[in-house]
Amino acid sequence: MPPDPTPALTPAPGAPRVRERGDACPGALRLHSADDGHLARLRLPAGLLTSRQVEVLADAAEALGDGRISVTSRGNAELRGLAGGCGAELAALLAEAGLLPSPTHERVRNIVASPASGLDGLGAADVQLWARELDERLCAAPWAAALSGRFLFVLDDGRGDVTGLGGDVTLVAADPGTALLHLGGRTVRVAAADAPRAALAAARAFLTAARGAGTGAWRVRELPEGSGVDVRAALTTAGIAAEAVRKPVEEAAVRKPVEEAAVRKPMEEAAVRKPMEEAAVREDIRKPVQEAVRESAPPHTAPPAEPPRESAPPHGAPPAPGPLGPAAFHVLAPLGRLTAAQLRALLPADEVRLTPWRGAVVVGAGPDRAPALDAAGLITRPGSPWAGVSACTGRPGCAKSLADVRADAVPGRPGLPVHYSGCERRCGHPHGDWVDVLAVPGGGYLVDGAPVPRADLAPAVTTARTAPRTAPRTTR
């Protein structure tokens, strides 16, 4: 991500962060100047591209940019190496393909949704449908244009793959009929049919809280303490029924007396019942009864074995490269970038969904497409050492970078995600636990804080990706 255009002074402990200017995050119409030319960032709600849009994006990369498409950690697309005067031509191409439904809202369409939702039989609801409705409502709301280009909606279908991506408003499908809405440490339960409207109402409540705080907050976590977002009031105003969900500690406080009573009651009943049972059942009649029961019992038979099931990723894990159900295929882009030819290699497809793990789900592609996708240079197997390896732009595209990190990147052996960064901003790093490879002056790197010469990166990265962790590295 380009530098923060409002580098605020580090606030004193307990003091809120104050932003004195608006968000200058790049978009498709607001280009950002970089050392390798201009860049455009195209928001793609849920990463969705039609076949026609895939072709247009590949053509634009070749005709106007450096011939590549970067997939961001929100499943959006970036074009780099653009000439300064190409903005109008690019906008016309994108608009004609339906990629700019609202010029005033093009930077706020930040919606991440579980990419495999509705394809592999997992998840409680198809949140891709939520994403499309939310995008339509977002673009139709004039006030929503005031959201920051960094404000993020996250829609998880219950498998937990995207809940950890730092959403400002997060919807999680609890079951086919209900959804949990998370914002600022608060959780409410709403009907699944109301989920997109509820997410939009929560975003409006954030804007109200941000204006009241007067700090120019772009994201929920930037609100000063005490400037809570009144989600329940916003939902009530929108006519959406909602039920507050207790935090685990609160639930435990309510549940403990009930559980203790449930344990105590059988014990008390047993204390009364035991003497009566002993008086009624004598040893001289108990043994014949037991023997009769044993003789009449059928022989033990093991329950029939269940048919083998296709293995699913652990809860919270992103889908591995490879088939997703019978008619979809997940690939990863090497170091998060696709050439125009690689983007076209995803076709034919019913649709393409770019993912926050810098890949793409090709809807309509069966396992038989694997050889062609592999031949195009895409990552198609979970055992590939390059799966989970990402890098920032680095030199020569970024003036702040200390190294050409993309040229220096080595995968090591498969394991934890690893991210190569050219400077301490660590642009585009993963969420959750990951290996941090940071360029330092003099040509070397720090691997999880330990100095490593560039020539020794491979063994150091292998060790960091595969060694047991005493404490996870988390998002900065």
pTM of the model: 0.83
Query: How is 97-151 classified by DSSP, letter by letter?
Result: TTS-S-GGGTTS--EEE-TTTTTSS-SSS-HHHHHHHHHHHHHH-GGGGGS-TT-
pLDDT computed for residue 283 by the predictor: 40
Q: Return the SS3 of 329.
A: strand
Tokens at 55, concatenated: 């072709």
| Helix, strand, coil share (%) of the chain residues, nearest 5 | 35, 20, 45
What number of other Cβ atoms are within 10 A of residue 463's Cβ?
Answer: 17
Evaluate whether 163 touches 170 at the Cβ level (below 8 Å). Answer: yes
395-422 pLDDT, tens digit each = 999 999 999 999 999 999 999 999 999 9
229: left (phi over 0), alpha (psi -120 to 50) or beta: beta
Query: How is 192-245 classified by DSSP, letter by letter?
Result: GGGHHHHHHHHHHHHHHHHHHHTS--SSGGGSPTT----HHHHHHHTT--EEE-
Give the residue, 82 or 3, on which the prediction is more confident.
Answer: 82
pLDDT computed for residue 316 by the predictor: 85
pLDDT computed for residue 105 by the predictor: 97
pLDDT computed for residue 14 by the predictor: 59
Is the pLDDT score of 258 beyond 50? no
Q: Please give the DSSP secondary-structure letter assigned to residue 327.
A: G
Helices (H) and strands (E) in the chain, counts: 11, 21
pLDDT computed for residue 470 by the predictor: 72
Is the pLDDT score of 49 beyond 90? yes
pLDDT computed for residue 423 by the predictor: 97
What are the Cα distances from residue 459, in Å, to 403, 412, 456? Answer: 19, 7, 6
pLDDT computed for residue 52 by the predictor: 98
Is the pLDDT score of 450 beyond 80? yes
pLDDT computed for residue 104 by the predictor: 96
Is the pLDDT score of 11 beyond 60? no
Q: Going by DSSP bridges, is the β-strand pair 37-42/77-82 parallel, antiparallel, or unpaired? A: antiparallel
Q: What integer is the mean pLDDT of 198-213?
A: 96
85-134 pLDDT, tens digit each = 999 999 999 999 999 999 999 999 999 999 999 999 999 999 999 999 99
Question: Poorest-confidence range of 8-22, 52-66, 151-165?
Answer: 8-22
Tokens at 70, concatenated: 């970067």
Which candidate, 412, 372, 423, 353, places its Cα nearest to that of 388?
412
38, containing H or E segment: strand 37-42
Q: Half-sphere exposure of residue 418, counting CA atoms within 13 Å on the CB side?
A: 29
pLDDT computed for residue 15 by the predictor: 62
- pLDDT, averaged across the chain: 86
pLDDT computed for residue 20 by the predictor: 66
pLDDT computed for residue 472 by the predictor: 63
Q: Return the SS3 of 33.
A: strand
What number of other Cβ atoms are within 10 A of residue 260's Cβ?
Answer: 10
Q: Please give the DSSP secondary-structure letter assigned to residue 185.
A: T
Q: How far apart are CA 128 and CA 110, in angstroms?
A: 14
pLDDT computed for residue 69 by the predictor: 97
Q: Give φ, ψ of 359 to 5 degrees.
A: -145, -160
pLDDT computed for residue 251 by the predictor: 41
334-389 pLDDT, tens digit each = 999 999 999 999 999 999 999 999 999 999 999 999 999 999 999 999 999 999 99
Is the pLDDT score of 219 beyond 70? yes
Residue written as tokens 């269940």?
A: 306
Question: Poorest-confidence range of 17-26, 180-189, 391-400?
Answer: 17-26
Is the pLDDT score of 84 beyond 80? yes
Query: How is 414-471 classified by DSSP, letter by letter?
Result: SSS-EEEESSTT-TTPPSSS-EEEEE-TTS-EEETTEEE-GGGHHHHHHHHHHSPPSS
Identity of residue 260:
E
